[in-house]
Amino acid sequence: MRVTIEHREQAVGLSGKQHHYFVDCTVDLSQEERAIVENRGLHQHFIEVGYSSPPDSGAKSGLLQGFVPLVALAGVGLGISSMFTKSGEGLSFLLLLAAGGMWLFGRTSEFKAAHATPNVTLGQLLNNNRFTVYAASPAQAKQVDAELREKLVILKANIADSADIGQKQTFEL
């Protein structure tokens, strides 16, 4: 197993004064390790690595969720007034549809964030040997680096230990 770890910094925001830090990791499994993973069905074995992007503040979905009642109320109000004026039925329907879409987008964003798994499986490493981990600071990036090294050593040992199964042993206690 050959591992390459690279740290990078990315300026964000309009002023570029804020920074995001990332640890990029490339894991090249040897042919023997690939064969062990394939033969023993170890594709679902994983290491926990952390998220690949900064945590979402929820501002986008929160902003949309704030406008849902306003858009829905406007749609209902326009629908009621269209009963008397005979105009605006289509716009009323579109506003109600937009409110439903905004609500659904906000809920699915929350669901995805709650159920995201920061794991990398051996199956994923066989298909795409590169993954990224977000860090809030350069110090945290160094900590992520050290943790990745430890976890990858354990992963390599698990692959090597899976090469053959244990033999029958008889002993007395």
Each residue of 138-162: pLDDT tens digit? Answer: 999 999 999 999 999 999 999 999 9
Mean pLDDT of all residues belonging to the chain: 87
Q: Does pLDDT of 52 surpass 90?
A: no
CA pseudo-torsion sign 112, 131, 160, 40? positive
26 in Cβ contact with 130 (< 8 Å)? yes
What percent of the chain shows pLDDT beyond 70? Answer: 89
Residue of higher predicted confidence among 53 and 10: 10
Domain spans, the chain: 2-52+118-161, 64-113
Q: How far, in Å, CA of 38 to CA of 123, rounded? A: 9
pLDDT at 152: 96
Task: Quote the pLDDT of residue 3.
Answer: 96
Question: Of how many residues is the chain composed?
Answer: 173
Count the Cβ atoms, other than its own, within 10 Å of residue 106.
20
Chain-centroid distance, C-alpha 124: 14
CA atoms within 13 A on the CB side of 143: 8
Task: Answer for the pair 141, 7: CB distance below 8 angstroms, yes or no.
Answer: yes
CA atoms within 13 A on the CB side of 147: 13
Q: Say whether pLDDT at 115 is over 60.
A: no
Residue 163 CA from chain centroid, whole number = 31
Is residue 15 over pLDDT 90?
no
Arithmetic mean of pLDDT, 99-111: 77
Token pair for 89: 């039925």
